[in-house]
Amino acid sequence: LGAWAGPSVFTQVNEINAVDSLQQQIGRKLSIVHTYLKWQAPFPTTSDEAFLSQGSTLLISWAGTDTRQIISGADDSWIRTRARQIKALGKPVFLEWRWEMDRPNLQDQVHSGADYIAAWDHIRAIFASVGVHNAAWVWCPTGEGFTDGRAAAFYPGDDEVDWICADAYPYGSYVSFASTVDPFLSWASHHDKPVMIGEFGVPESDTGPQRAQWLRAAQQVVLADHQIKALLYFDADSSGHIAYALNDAAALAAFRSIAEQPYFNPAGIR
């Protein structure tokens, strides 16, 4: 079980405090802390090191640059630098390069499924040449991309992916977690890979009891599908986007109930 805990104003200290606050509210440390990393941003940050020090595993969502630029080799030196930084951590991490690549608003950067796959393979080959063995490669399109069939075209193949993932949000009117993830889980069932829900959330626009009910129903979906091995909430209010923060008592209690169950905490983390 993990989360992105987004502070209202982003600083390293605020990010650490946001994670600490969520952990105190649910009564345990997060197994996975989700972080977002721009293409050439410094790494590791103070907050990255703090989360690793507390025993959590990082899910690093690494934003990409133009896929065709990557394929050309123009960024090889930088990719090699990033590979060395991740190797130097000496701890396992999840690496999610250019998540939600199937979003239409990323087409100018991603171009096509073929371009994305070629860029993914190019980056992986450089990481392999550097000897990076502590990164599990997570492929994570939108859950919506399995409803309309666009996501599969971006899949690099079972040989190039360690975990398959989807970001699952109930876009539009009130929609269950099951309806949001079922097309993805159906597709995933044909691939012998562990499944991650990299982001999910229930909008603040729903009432507290509705949010709690939605989360309890989501828990049952996960319990029923043992291919799902990781579940991460998006605990944030994003400017200009739908807000999902666990800022009401009912929703927070429902999420804490998930966190307290042994199934979602097999290592007994406290």
| Lowest-confidence pick of 34-38, 112-116, 174-178 | 174-178
Res 89 pLDDT > 60: yes
Q: By percentage, how much of the chain surpasses pLDDT 90?
A: 90
* Unique residue bearing structure tokens 């966190």: 259
Which residue would you say has higher pLDDT here, 256 or 241?
A: 256
**CA 81 to centroid of chain Cα atoms:** 23
Q: Which residues contact 127 (CB under 8 A, 6 or more apart)?
A: 79, 83, 86, 135
Q: What is the structure's pLDDT at 173?
A: 61
Give the pLDDT confidence score for residue 156 in this predicted structure. 98
Whole-structure pTM value = 0.96
Residue 166 confidence class, pLDDT cut points 50, 70, 90: very high
Q: Which two tokens stand for residue 213?
A: 């009910």
Q: Is the peptide bond before 262 cis (omega within 30 degrees of 0)?
A: no
The answer to whether the CB of 146 falls within 8 A of the CB of 155 is no
Q: Coil, helix or strand for 258?
A: helix
Give the per-residue pLDDT at 171.
Answer: 74
Residue 217 in tokens:
């129903």
Average pLDDT of the residues of the chain: 95
Q: Is the pLDDT of residue 42 over 60?
A: yes
